[in-house]
Amino acid sequence: MFIVLRLKHNNQAFGFLGGKEVGAAGVTNLGLRDQIFALEWTQKYISAFGGDPARVVMYLVPSFLHAFSNNFISSGGVSAGAISSNLLLLSNKQNSNSLFRGAFMESGSILKLPHAVDRQSDYDGLVAANNCSASSDTLACLQQVPFESLMATVDNTADLFSYRSLSLTWQPYIDGDVIVQDPYISTSQGLYAKVPIMSGNCDDEGTVFSFSNQNITTDAEFLDYVNSNYLPASTQEQITQIGHLYPEDPTQGSPFNTGTANQLTPEYKRLAAFQGDLIFLAPRRFFLEHTAATQDAWSWLYKRGKDTQYGASHASDLAIWFPANTSNDTIAVDAMINFINTLDPNRPAKNSTVKSSIFWPKWNIPSPAGSSSLLTFNDDRINITADNFRVEPREFLNNLLLGEAIREHE
């Protein structure tokens, strides 16, 4: 059974309000708790609809993506939905990772997350904006604010397309319950569901999130932004190394492999490369390096659309999973249908006529180039390539994030 869950008010205060008051009330990470509740409901009632609770594949839909395409209503497991799926795969006190038998994650993986107490200033800001500061119970006061008024103050906080970009105001956080410890630590310790997964990225994940940073135009401003906005605990030596790994050279920036084209500002392609790797491509590789050793895992890379300033941008691969015209180029669709039915993108269900025209190796099986395998979608072909691009910067970021998580945990 394939269950699609649509996430309402994704990445907003309604689902991810932090702070000590929220922790004391036991209402942390409500966005994830809602998803767990939906999965539990499915387990309990899906048989009444002819489904099998033992055959649920998780694929979560973030509602904000409807702004980009009319086709998103039938899609999911992408972006914040993929991140949610990955977080629910991790071991926690809610046993969320026992509620499904497989997961599909598109443009989203684990993240290094803050602790609940780290979100106190955001909570206090929302309290002040809604005139609740003088209340003896500020959380109860917030709960009494009319929806439209509360939403107006939430909308005034930094979002994905603000200067803070992917350093979100409202995001999941470590609460000791739904997220018991940093996802990098849980992953490194093997504390995740041992179920088959599919996880992939677009090549230029960071481009659409770098348009709001156009006032960053120098090397010094780039390094300061990386340090202050994303990696405040990093040393100056580490930040300097990031500057070397993500140079000002536009030919090495994102959209990748486009030479000097698409250089919107002197630092645009550099920012896009760094932000895409930090939040999307490096975490995917880290998660696969561990899960591919313990269970079946497949991965892909979407590289189409390099002729625009966005390139193969975040979530642009939805067109291959949910094409408007299914008369051709259905390799991705066939693979997804097979995975839902058999937990293997290459193996169709019994009596099914869905047969892929290309064999998709698991991620840890060497590609023809001798490295981990990716099913890669180029403009002119679909083939198996190696997951051997930008290995040094991605490994540096993963080691940096894991190290910081461990230090914070100690």
List, for residues 59-107, the tens digit of each pLDDT value: 776 544 333 332 222 233 688 889 999 999 999 999 999 999 999 999 9
106-122 pLDDT, tens digit each = 999 999 999 999 999 99
39-61 pLDDT, tens digit each = 999 899 989 988 888 888 887 76
Is residue 232 exposed (0-12), middle (13-18) or buried (19+ Cβ within 10 Å)?
Answer: exposed
> CA–CA separation, 114 vs 173, rounded Å?
5
The whole-number pLDDT of residue 327 equals 63
Are the CB atoms for 172 and 113 separated by under 8 Å?
yes
Q: Which residue has the tokens 């994303």?
A: 230
Q: Where are the domains of the chain?
A: 2-409
155-183 pLDDT, tens digit each = 999 888 899 999 999 999 999 999 999 99
The pLDDT of 299-317, averaged and rounded, is 94
The whole-number pLDDT of residue 67 equals 32
Catalytic residues: 79, 205, 314
Average pLDDT for the chain: 90
233-248 pLDDT, tens digit each = 999 999 999 999 999 9
**Nearest to residue 22, comparing CAs of 111, 117, 114?**
117
**Nearest to residue 16, comparing CAs of 164, 133, 178?**
178
Statement: residue 32 has pLDDT above 60:
yes
More confident residue, 325 or 91: 91
More confident residue, 186 or 371: 186
Q: Is the peptide bond before 255 cis (omega within 30 degrees of 0)?
A: yes
Question: Three-class SS of residue 38?
Answer: helix
The whole-number pLDDT of residue 308 equals 85
How many helices (H) and strands (E) would you count in the chain?
15, 7
Q: Chain-centre distance of CA 208, in angstroms?
A: 14
b/e map 380-399, b = 16+ CB within 10 Å: eebebbbbeebeebbebbbe
pTM: 0.93
DSSP track, 303-331: ---TTSSS-SBTTTTHHHHS-S-TTS--H
The pLDDT of 129-142, averaged and rounded, is 97
Architecture of domain 2-409: 3-Layer(aba) Sandwich (3.40)
The whole-number pLDDT of residue 104 equals 92
| Amino acid symbol at 68 | F
Which whole-number Å values give the CA distances from 66 to 12, 259, 325, in the listed order? Answer: 16, 32, 19
396-410 pLDDT, tens digit each = 999 999 999 999 988
